[in-house]
Structure 1
Amino acid sequence: MAFAAANHSGIRHAEPKISENMLAVENKIATSINAIVSNLQPSPEEHIPAKESLSQGKITGTEALDKGYLKYGCSHYRRRCQIRAPCCNEIFDCRHCHNEAKNNICVDQKLRHDVPRHLIEKVICSLCDTEQEVQQVCTNCGVCMGRYYCAICKLFDDDTSKEQYHCNGCGICRIGGSKNFFHCDKCGCCYSILLKSSHPCVERAMHQDCPVCFEYLFDSRNDVIAMPCGHTIHKTCLVEMQEHYKYACPICSKSVCDMSKVWEKFDLEIAATPMPAYYENKMVWILCNDCGSNSEVKYHVIAQKCPNCKSYNTRQTRGLAR
């Protein structure tokens, strides 16, 4: 019995030692497993680049960016988004579409208005119809809504053959390539680089309506040219004027082209048309529209020639002097 008790007592004393050893082994195993798991699982800092990389892959992927290229847009722009006009909260393909719809003779004059391009805040992706803040790439489908994008003018355009560029002086985007144009601070607009040292400056020359069709020239989408006098006009309007034999600026009346050959024909016609004796020596005062000089010349029923610049682009300012 004593042996049994001693033996039993020994067993009870041995149990704590075995449990401690097993616990130590289990702790070592758990520590090893945690170390392995921690090595396999990246830290939160390592997760961030991975997510960014995935997101960037979605946005910059060629397939996503080019989806629908040149298949969407309107008569004004090829683009993959529409705008929400801040003035009337309606959706249009572009600001020109808005202006054509909201500023024409069919609309009540009190309700006519243009959309302020710089205040546009929302665009709608044409592929997934997601409305979002103005940006080049759709936040939902990752499509590029316009290969040319200006964050200032809120302009999108897939047709980059126009060579669009933003002019800080004008404050708007223009076409034709920045290398081909320069901004004249006095005129307040961009001109061809060929005119940089030769164009006559007229203050705010482009900030006016075309003298023929009365469209505002500064942000017109039609070609605008500067006449020799410095005033501006639509190219098509100038051609139409010349087709109707009008060769003087509608604003200041200066000749818009070289008229020397025409003046030679006037010389021949006047020489072949003598005046009656009563008018032969009659004198009148004229103002030359080309050089601005006032002169007293012989009156002729066909025209009066400026003695200063030899132009017949003159007007009679005083009647027959004697």
Structure 2
Amino acid sequence: MAPCCNKVYVCRVCHDDVEDHTLDRTTVEKIVCNKCSTKQPVSDRCSNCDIKFAQYFCAKCRLYDSNDLKQFHCDGCRLCRVGGRENYFHCEKCDVCLLLSMKDTHECLEKISHNECPVCLQNLHTSRKPSRIPKCRHMIHEECFKKLFQYGHFACPICGTSMTNMSQIWKMKDEEVKHTEMPQDYKEIKTNILCRDCHKQNVVDLHFLGLKCPDCGSYNTCQ
């Protein structure tokens, strides 16, 4: 039962889809049993018919879920996560649960998850999807990151920095440039570039296939 409007909904998402305001589920104090319609305080079982409401119940989040998603409550995040507590750790500075594989490799940024994913625009902190932190430290959903690469986009949507090690791709680009001769009218033309990876400016030979940064070797440049 939503205390904000005194209406009964199956879940907060159902509430938010039809109301002009959002429900803070932690404020819910009363629930209604779907089987016997008994109104009662929040709990995992009905006080009247004793039916178990869900396989997973979190009293802090007022969360009920019968799908086995390896849910666990994180006191640091102040919400429930999925994927198994044993696979995650809570970074106090980033203020978010991250995969254990990122524990010794990620760079901390205070409250990094308290933003929207730059691709799908969903809130990263409350999202149930795994996220990654590129070297530019603009957090992004892992799923959205992979989709960007699938469609040939390797740069951060926010700052334009390469989101992964592109050295092998740049080597392939070197070969393409090497074996592609520029038309005679363009061979002597120079152009100013800014590297989006090392942020240095240079003057380089114009080439239609790419403009390589002489400092870091990246082709992630702009004129």
Give the structure 2 partner of residue 250 of structure 1.
Answer: 157
Match for residue 218 of structure 1 among 101, 105, 125:
125
CA distance in 2, matches of 1:254, 1:129: 55
Question: Is 2:50 the partner of 1:142?
Answer: yes
- CA drift at 1:194: 0.8
Change in 2 beyond 3 A, CA 1:223/1:195? closer
Distance 2:110 2:215 in 1: 27
Aligned with 2:93 (options 182, 186, 189): 186
SS at the partner of 1:211? coil
Q: Distance in 2 between matches of 1:226 and 1:178?
A: 20
1:239 equivalent in alignment to 2:146: yes
Contiguous gaps of at least 5 residues in structure 1: 1-83, 103-111, 317-322
* Letter aligned with residue 172 of structure 1: L
1:277, CA displacement in angstroms? 5.2
Query: Per-residue displacement from partner, 1:139-166 (whole Å, max 9, x unpaired)?
Result: 112222233222211112233x312111
Which protein has the larger Cα radius of gyration, Structure 1 or Structure 2?
Answer: 1
Counterpart Cα distance in 2 of 1:120 and 1:224 = 29
3-state SS of 2:192 partner: strand
Task: Supply the distance in 1 between the matched residues of 2:156 and 2:107 (Cα, whole angstroms).
Answer: 14
Structure 2 residue matching 1:284: 3-state secondary structure: strand
Residue pairs, 1:19-168, within 5 angstroms:
84-102=1-19, 112-159=20-67, 161-168=68-75
User: Structure 2: 5+ residue runs without aligned partners?
Assistant: none
Change (3 A) 1:223 1:196: closer
Distance 1:227 1:100 in 2: 33
- Residue 211 of structure 2 is aligned to residue 304 of structure 1: yes
Q: Quick check: 1:200–1:229 contact (8 Å CA) kept in 2?
A: no
How far has the Cα of 1:174 moved from its partner? 0.6
Measured after TM superposition, the shift of residue 283 of structure 1 is 3.6
Q: What TM-score results when the alignment is normalised by the length of structure 2?
A: 0.88
Shift of 1:278: 5.5
Instruction: Report which stretch shifted further, 114-123 or 217-226.
Output: 217-226
TM, length-normalised to structure 1: 0.63
Do the aligned partners of 2:197 and 2:220 also contact (CA within 8 Å) in 1?
yes
Deviations 1:287-313 (A, max 9, x none): 222233333333323321122221101
Question: Do 2:82 and 2:128's aligned partners in 1 also have CA atoms closer than 8 Å?
Answer: no
- CA-CA distance at 1:284 after TM superposition: 3.4
Moved more, 220-229 or 147-156: 220-229
- Give the Cα–Cα distance (whole angstroms) in 1 for the partners of residues 110 and 152 of structure 2: 28
Does the residue aligned with 2:111 lie in a helix, a strand or coil? coil
Q: Deviations over 1:4-27 (max 9, x none)?
A: xxxxxxxxxxxxxxxxxxxxxxxx
Corresponding position of 1:170: 77
Structure 1 residue aligned with 2:197? 290
> In structure 2, what is the Cα distance between the partners aligned to 1:196 and 1:126?
43
Contact 2:98 2:131 in 1 (8 A): no
Structure 2: which amino acid aligns with 1:88?
A: C
